[in-house]
């Protein structure tokens, strides 16, 4: 049953990928100031990227471009958590923002997590948004009040949180991740890379096999 559910999730993600280029480049969607910012070489992971694990001797890096409002990302979240628990002492897991314009609160969610990261609570807010996604995802109205409630629950300094949320640098940080994703050919979420190679596992077992095979290479 879990395998069939995961396959269904991957099918949803594949549809998102097929639709992604239209959503990202539709003339009816504001594209912000991404084009006006300096052009840099796209990278899978940067020094500033958020690492969910930091093994002393990392043997492999798994990067996920994600959207907190994406249902497929929410369904894959527990799989990533299981993989982190199993391989976290050998594998570096990296989360990168890639909010899809078709989601009303996707970009706001990414800024919410980045604002929490400024107070050392990236992982806590990252997990909070995924575990509560069913309560706020796919809404047509802003969920700012809901996200501020989560920040309070995590014990954040709300004055600092609000300031960070509205800071242009926070939005720029989100766009920087998205810009890298676009440069790497990411069109939908979730999109995974293992040491720079794009992979599309159809089940947790296949994901584990991919990781194990790379860890066993000399």
Q: From residue 204, give the alpha-carbon distance in Å to each of 65, 86, 134.
A: 17, 12, 22
**In which domain, by residue range, is 137 found?**
2-215
pLDDT in tens, the chain (218 residues): 544 444 444 444 444 443 343 334 333 333 333 344 566 789 999 999 999 999 999 999 999 999 999 999 999 999 999 999 999 999 999 999 999 999 999 999 999 999 999 999 999 999 999 999 999 999 999 999 999 999 999 999 999 999 999 999 999 999 999 999 999 999 999 999 999 999 999 999 999 999 999 999 87
Domain count, the chain: 1
Note the pLDDT of residue 34.
Answer: 39
pTM > 0.85: yes or no:
no
Note the pLDDT of residue 37.
Answer: 55
Note the pLDDT of residue 39.
Answer: 64
Burial class of residue 130, CB neighbours in 10 A (0-12, 13-18, 19+): buried
CATH code at position 146: 3.40.30.10
């Amino acid at each position: 049953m879990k395998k069939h559910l995961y396959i269904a999730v991957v099918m949803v993600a594949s549809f998102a990928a097929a639709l992604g280029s239209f959503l990202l480049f539709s003339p009816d969607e504001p594209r912000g100031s991404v084009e006006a910012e300096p052009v840099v070489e796209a990278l899978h992971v940067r020094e500033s990227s958020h690492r969910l694990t930091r093994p002393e001797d990392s043997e492999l890096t798994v990067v996920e471009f994600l959207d907190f409002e994406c249902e497929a990302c929410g369904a894959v979240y527990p799989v990533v958590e299981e993989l982190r628990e199993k391989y976290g002492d050998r594998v570096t897991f990296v989360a990168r923002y890639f909010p899809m314009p078709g989601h009303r609160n996707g970009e706001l969610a990414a800024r919410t997590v980045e604002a929490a990261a400024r107070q050392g609570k990236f992982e806590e807010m990252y997990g909070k948004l995924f575990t509560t996604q069913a309560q706020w995802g796919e809404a047509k109205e802003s969920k700012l009040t809901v996200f501020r409630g989560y920040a309070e629950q995590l014990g954040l300094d709300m004055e600092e949180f609000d300031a960070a949320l509205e800071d242009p640098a926070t939005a720029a940080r989100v766009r920087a991740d998205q810009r890298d994703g676009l440069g790497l050919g990411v069109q939908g979420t979730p999109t995974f890379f293992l040491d720079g190679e794009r992979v599309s596992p159809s089940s947790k077992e296949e994901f584990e096999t991919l990781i194990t095979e790379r860890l066993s290479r000399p």
